[in-house]
Amino acid sequence: MREQDPIERSRNFEEVACGYHPDDAMRESERCLMCPDQPCVSGCPVGIDIPGFIRKIGEKDLRGAYDIITETSLLPAVCGRVCPQENQCEGVCTVGESLEPVAIGRLERFVGDAAIREGWVNIPYIEANRFKVGIVGSGPAGMACAADMAKAGCEVTVFEAFHQPGGVLRYGIPDFRLPNAVIDAEIGNLRKLGVKFECNTLVGRLFTIEQMISGMGYDAVFVGVGAGYPTMLGIPGDSLNGVLSANELLTRCNLMRAKEFPNFDTPQPIGRRVAVVGAGNTAMDAMRVCLRLGAEKVYCIYRRSRKEAPARAEEVHHAEQEGVEYHWLTNPVAVIDDGQGNVRGMRCVRMELGEPDESGRRRPVQVAGSEFDFETDLIVYAIGTNANPIMGQTSKLELNKWGYIQTDNSLATSMAGVFAGGDIVTGAATVIEAMGAGRKAAASMKAYLGIRDSALPYANGGEKLFGIDLRERNFARVRVA
């Protein structure tokens, strides 16, 4: 796949990966073995029929490929770009055992982009029922849940606190990785399904979840508000000017378009030498944004080694190409000030890897006497997020000890009719995992509302009563003629 030249692209906000030429896509599709056990499908959090859509690409039937993907996934153009394929479908690809795995993500994006270009949208026949469903948060979890509920015939309204829908896709992921046009297209598809978006609405404060269920007439509510309460390191100098969270940096740049200052009013912190702490996807985004904003040097400070870095392999590689300097096995211990409340530098220590911890990753231990200082004028923390407290403050939803919403296996919360999924349940994860949770919650919601779910398998001999699958739990509305 063609990519923009690293030096050139590190100064603009155009997309890095230019996408497949049709011939390349055809060639890549032929590499798929169509193996019978389909490990890639079970590797996909939403279970896309991957060999199915690849076969269609090979047959030059892009519309057919799009139809297959959209049976299970809502946003091929988004997921093809932002999924960590190497840990999912591509990580278990049979071809990958001896060669490079089939580039499933790139093929998916190829199909998704074609759909946006051609204006394809799959709107099934929808028979309206009398149910009203409210979705809190317009990020990937909310979008996925909204799509499924709208397809089931419910009247769906999505509430968003910001002035534009899309959640993390809008404020978090920068344009060069996920262009706004792609998000707009996907939101447009949801609108075509009949989903309504209400922006500038802070659920919990403007009205509560309880009010939605009792007074406002929502039959079911899905809470997918994300985690987003950034963690600070808690080291001396944390509150100096020039220390900020990756969320703040990215929101200013992406959602508020501070990169176009002064044509847009929001100020953007710009550093000459920037240190980003962390090595996840958010850290990579933050570093690459800083380069594009004109930083001379961008350092990545991470206390483990490259192997443990949680970011997509492609992002680590792209950032390196663009000139990011990695400092693996380095841990910050203090931020140094200039005497006027601004950042002047950072004090770090070297680490080495010890015994594996509970997450299976080797625990970093400090090397004695390895302290050193370096110069920096902007420090960005990309070390994860905690649960946002608004839902807990304003509703009686049961939370776990970390403040995330407590759910059962079907993603039902402690309140009848209220379901939750995505980062606010699991803690920070990926876009596709949030979408998977949104779809799972939608399935539970349908069961709760007594809507027949055609997605449930009928054929394979499940327990049946009057010809209705027991798992459907659809007994409320059986009518005898």
Is residue 180 part of the contact set for another protein (CB under 8 A)? no
How crowded is residue 153: how many other Cβ atoms within 10 Å of its Cβ?
Answer: 17
At 132 the three-state DSSP class reads strand
Choose which of 265, 296, 325, 375 interacts with another protein (CB under 8 A).
265
Q: Which is nearer to another protein, 52 or 230 (CB)?
A: 230
Cβ-based neighbour number of residue 341 at 10 Å: 10
What whole-number distance in Å separates Cα of residue 310 and Cα of residue 473? 40
Site string for another protein, 106-145 (x = CB under 8 A): ----------------------------------------
Provide DSSP, 190-246.
Answer: HHHTT-EEE-S--TTTSS-HHHHHHTS--SEEEE-----EEPP---TTTTSBTEEEH
Kindly indicate which of the ranges 51-59, 201-209, 443-451, 473-481 contains the residues binding another protein, using the contact rule CB under 8 A.
201-209
Range 289-321 burial, b when 16+ CB lie within 10 A, else e: bbbbbebebbbbbbbbbeebbbbbebbbebbbe
Q: Which of 24, 61, 162, 308 binds another protein (CB under 8 A)?
A: 162
Is 457 near another protein (CB under 8 A)? no
Return the biggest CA–CA distance within the chain. Answer: 83
- For residues 457 and 450, what is the distance between their CA atoms, to the nearest angstrom? 16
Beta bridge partners of 275: 299, 379
What's the closest the beta carbon of residue 404 comes to another protein, in angstroms?
14
- Give the nearer residue to another protein in terms of CB position, either 36 or 234: 234
Nearer to another protein, 69 or 161 (CB): 161
Shortest Å, Cβ 205 to another protein: 5
Q: How far is the CB of 339 from another protein (least distance, A)?
A: 12
87, 122, 201, 305: which one binds another protein (CB under 8 A): 201
Q: Which of 41, 229, 327, 347 binds another protein (CB under 8 A)?
A: 229
Stretch that binds another protein, among 119-127, 267-275, 298-306, 429-437 (CB under 8 A): 267-275
Binding of another protein by 191 (CB under 8 A): no
Q: Do you find a cis peptide bond into 262, omega within 30 degrees of 0?
A: yes
**Shortest distance in whole angstroms from residue 278 CB to another protein:** 14
CB of 199 to another protein, least distance (A): 7
Contacting residues for 12 by C-beta, under 8 A, at least 6 apart: 4, 176, 292
Nearest to residue 141, comparing CAs of 108, 116, 166?
A: 166
Q: Torsion angle of alpha carbons 431, 437, 443, 444, nearest 10°?
A: -160
| Residue 361 tokens, joined | 């990753």
Eight-state DSSP code of residue 307: G
251 binds another protein (CB under 8 A): yes
Stretch that binds another protein, among 56-64, 89-97, 245-253, 449-457 (CB under 8 A): 245-253
Which of 96, 132, 153, 207 forms a contact with another protein (CB under 8 A)? 207
Which of 238, 357, 373, 408 lies at the binding interface for another protein (CB under 8 A)? Answer: 238
| Closer to another protein by Cβ: residue 390 or 399 | 390
Question: For another protein, which residue of 12, 42, 214, 393 counts as binding (CB under 8 A)?
Answer: 393
Q: Which of 39, 47, 230, 384 binds another protein (CB under 8 A)?
A: 230
Residue 236 is a binding residue for another protein (CB under 8 A): no
The token pair at 218 is: 């929502």
76-77-79-83 Cα dihedral, nearest 10 degrees: 140
Residue 163 binds another protein, judged by CB under 8 A: yes
In the block, residue with structure tokens 């997921």? 79
Residue window 12-51: x/- pattern of binding to another protein, with contact defined by CB under 8 A? ----------------------------------------
By CB under 8 A, tell whether 341 contacts another protein. yes
- Identify any residues that bridge with 158 across adjacent strands, giving them in sequence order: 135, 197
Task: Give the nearest distance from C-beta 302 to another protein in angstroms.
Answer: 20
360 is a site residue for another protein (CB under 8 A): no
Q: Which of residues 405-434 bind another protein (CB under 8 A)?
A: none
Strands (DSSP E) along 241-329, which ranges? Answer: 243-245, 273-277, 297-301, 325-327
Is the Cβ of residue 116 or residue 135 nearer to another protein in the bound state? 135
- Of the chain, the end-to-end C-alpha distance in Å amounts to 60
Q: Interface residues with another protein (CB under 8 A)?
A: 161-163, 171, 198-202, 205-207, 228-230, 232, 234, 238-239, 241, 244-245, 247-248, 251-252, 256-257, 261-269, 341, 388-390, 393
